[in-house]
């Protein structure tokens, strides 16, 4: 089997590249270890906690014991299914802040400033405001990726935004437009009541073309001959075969599996590869390093009125919602229920938001265990730009074995200061007049926990990953010893090989990572085709006029 381009991973970026490359007439083979995404658990937005906890759809990774989080091993779900993590995620759509991408460019990712990437966001989007405001001139209207907003019928969604306003923050009717900072409606990759994953948006249309094929198998290593990637060795069934690339190999296998594959192929820190008996093709010390993530806490309040989603937390109601969704693709099943959001700055002197809120009118954990209180609601909150850095390393040279994932969470004093501030600022929002008629009491952390030590103990025991790992094949200039890929996503030191997924992010972006991951696939597909990048945008984003002296 052979094609012009061989892509490893049918995830967010891989699907986008398969679509764009095949659209241009190139032949593409996509290698995916997971199976089909057909079925209600993936396609029904409200069922989002199920696929994330199903071995069938998830690689099942866990971190090494995290010393500052009471040696807990944290779950690190990654999609093992068509659509990758876009088929098992929370469907929240956040582009990231303009300054995130300007920072990338300053760090050596030339051509990735906000002015460079905004045209790709517009190209990929088909945006629907659902009557909740926003400025169409900032958004795309004919791309493959439908982006919509929930119905926001529950009064708690509006109370959250109003409480933010009462606390002195901005409101914004489109955090993906001119102004991220503030409180307003949250966006989701949902269309006509279905999860609009990268598989639905990009891969299905691509597979209808004769020049795009998906092959099911486990990628074991990149085949490199005389310094050039010529194919990918895969195992399917009991046999090992090589799928050859006439032009290039592209790894889009996630920030966990892309560095693992590079190392199995002899590209990575030479001493580490030698430990596992792997012959060194290119000594790149940055492979697997620079691992970043978002940690978050759920601040949960017990509700004084029975208006939360808890009334649907029973078998009869779930069956009715499921049936309504199966027949009409409408009702509670048709939203991820994250319908209000907030982005704020933690203190004066911070130029752009460094705290994100997801608001949910239910007190529940990601694994689907609901709060004992019954009726409640919660805000997911956490700092956006932790200085902590971890690493993905090989556990063995066996491709079937998971790598070691060590996030090194909360490893600086700044992490703790930032997280305490998140908790206190969230409590202040829930204490506003807008919530007076809805709040009974604080479930967690609980009003008794007030001191720094109390909060630190709570963070250590309860902080969870927001499932945004990235950064392990960092993009930078070719002369940067710690960079893994150059600004066109080419692996430095090997010809014919690129990486295109969240692993190339120099630094984690503000918010959820699905949108920037797809954007990477869109932009790198132009580099693969040798096309000039889309013309730069000159839109100016909003920055708080008093950011140097005011927190809000």
- At 292-336, the pLDDT tens digits run 999 999 999 999 999 999 999 888 999 999 999 999 999 999 999
Which pLDDT score is estimated for 370? 78
Q: What token pair was written down for 289? A: 């390093």
Which pLDDT score is estimated for 373? 81
Contacts by 395-404 with C-beta closer than 8 Å and gap 24+?
396/276, 397/264, 397/276, 397/277, 397/278, 399/218, 399/219, 399/220, 399/221, 399/235, 399/264, 400/218, 400/235, 402/59, 402/60, 402/61, 403/256, 403/257, 403/259, 403/260, 403/288, 404/64
CA separation, residue 279 to residues 253, 263, 400 (Å):
22, 10, 19
Q: Which residues are annotated as a binding site for FAD?
A: 81, 89-92
d(CA 227, CA 229): 7
d(CA 356, CA 363): 18
Q: What does the buried/exposed string (b/e) look like for 449-480 if buried means 16 or more CB atoms within 10 Å of the residue's CB?
A: eeeeeebbebbbebbbbbbbbbbbbbbbeeeb
Q: Which residues are catalytic?
A: 468
Q: Which residues of the chain have pLDDT under 70?
A: 366
d(CA 107, CA 391): 19
Q: CB–CB of 126/144 below 8 Å?
A: yes
Which pLDDT score is estimated for 67? 98
Among 153, 92, 173, residue whose Cα is nearest residue 357: 92
Q: What token pair was written down for 190? A: 């949902």
Which pLDDT score is estimated for 49? 86
Which pLDDT score is estimated for 153? 95
pTM for this predicted structure: 0.98
Among 446, 410, 411, 424, residue whose Cα is nearest residue 344: 424
CA separation, residue 190 to residues 135, 271, 349, 547 (Å):
19, 45, 36, 34
CA separation, residue 243 to residues 11, 16, 81, 203, 356 (Å):
19, 20, 20, 19, 42
Which pLDDT score is estimated for 364? 86
Q: What token pair was written down for 95? A: 């582009």
Which pLDDT score is estimated for 369? 75
Taking only the tens place, the pLDDT of each residue in 89-143 is 999 999 999 999 999 999 999 999 999 999 999 999 999 988 888 999 999 999 9
Burial class (CB in 10 A: 0-12, 13-18, 19+), 5: buried
Kind and range of the H or E run holding 316: helix 315-328
Q: CB–CB of 367/49 below 8 Å?
A: yes
Which pLDDT score is estimated for 194? 97
Among 178, 215, 183, residue whose Cα is nearest residue 35: 215
CATH numbers and ranges of domains, the chain = 1-59+77-149+187-286+470-540 (3.50.50.60), 151-185+295-383+410-462 (3.30.410.40)
Q: What is the DSSP letter of 201?
A: I
Which pLDDT score is estimated for 383? 98
């Amino acid at each position: 089997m052979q094609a012009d381009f061989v892509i490893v991973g049918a995830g967010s970026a891989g699907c986008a590249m398969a679509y764009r490359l095949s659209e241009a007439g190139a032949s593409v083979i996509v290698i995916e270890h997971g199976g089909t995404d057909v079925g209600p658990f993936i396609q029904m937005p409200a069922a989002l906690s199920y696929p994330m906890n199903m071995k069938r759809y998830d690689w099942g990774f866990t971190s090494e014991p995290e010393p500052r989080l009471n040696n807990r091993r944290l779950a690190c779900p990654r999609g093992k299914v068509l659509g990758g993590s876009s088929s098992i995620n929370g469907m929240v759509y956040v582009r990231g802040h303009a300054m995130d991408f300007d920072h990338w460019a300053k760090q050596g990712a030339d051509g990735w400033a906000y002015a460079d990437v905004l045209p790709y966001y517009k190209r990929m989007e088909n945006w629907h405001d659902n009557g909740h405001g926003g400025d169409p001139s900032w958004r795309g209207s004919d791309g493959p990726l439908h982006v919509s907003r929930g119905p926001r019928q529950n009064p708690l969604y509006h109370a959250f935004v109003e409480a933010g306003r009462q606390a002195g923050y901005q409101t914004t009717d489109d955090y993906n437009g001119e102004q991220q900072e503030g409180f307003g409606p949250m966006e989701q990759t949902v269309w006509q009541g279905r999860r609009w994953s990268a598989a639905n948006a990009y891969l299905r249309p691509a597979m209808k073309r004769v020049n795009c094929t998906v092959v099911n198998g486990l990628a074991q290593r990149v085949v490199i001959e005389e310094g050039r990637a010529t194919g990918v060795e895969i195992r399917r069934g009991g046999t090992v075969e090589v799928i050859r690339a006439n032009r290039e190999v592209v790894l889009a296998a996630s920030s966990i599996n892309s560095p693992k594959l590079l190392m199995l192929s002899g590209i990575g820190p030479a001493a580490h590869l030698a430990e596992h008996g792997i012959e060194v093709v290119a000594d790149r010390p940055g492979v697997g390093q620079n691992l970043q993530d978002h940690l978050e806490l759920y601040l949960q309040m017990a509700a004084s009125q029975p208006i939360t989603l808890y009334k649907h937390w029973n078998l009869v109601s779930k069956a009715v919602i499921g049936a309504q969704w199966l027949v009409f693709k409408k009702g509670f099943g048709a939203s991820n229920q994250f319908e209000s959001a907030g982005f704020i700055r933690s203190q004066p002197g911070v130029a752009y938001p460094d705290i994100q809120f997801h608001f949910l009118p239910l007190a529940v954990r990601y694994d689907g265990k609901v709060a004992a209180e019954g009726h409640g609601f919660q805000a997911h909150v956490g700092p956006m730009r932790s200085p902590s850095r971890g690493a993905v390393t090989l556990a063995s040279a066996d491709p079937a074995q998971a790598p070691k994932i060590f996030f090194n969470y909360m490893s600086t004093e700044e992490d703790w200061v930032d997280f305490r501030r998140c908790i206190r600022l969230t409590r202040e929002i829930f204490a506003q007049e807008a919530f007076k008629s809805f709040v009974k009491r604080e479930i967690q952390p609980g009003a008794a926990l007030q001191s720094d030590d109390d909060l630190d103990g709570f963070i250590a025991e309860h902080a969870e990953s927001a499932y945004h790992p990235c950064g392990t094949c960092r993009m930078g200039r070719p002369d940067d010893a710690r960079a893994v890929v150059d600004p066109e996503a080419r692996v430095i030191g090997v010809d014919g090989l690129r990486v295109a997924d969240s692993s190339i992010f120099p630094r984690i972006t503000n918010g959820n990572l699905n949108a920037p991951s797809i954007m990477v696939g869109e932009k790198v597909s132009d580099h693969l085709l040798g096309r000039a990048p889309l013309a730069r945008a000159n839109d100016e984003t909003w920055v708080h006029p008093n950011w140097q002296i005011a927190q809000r």
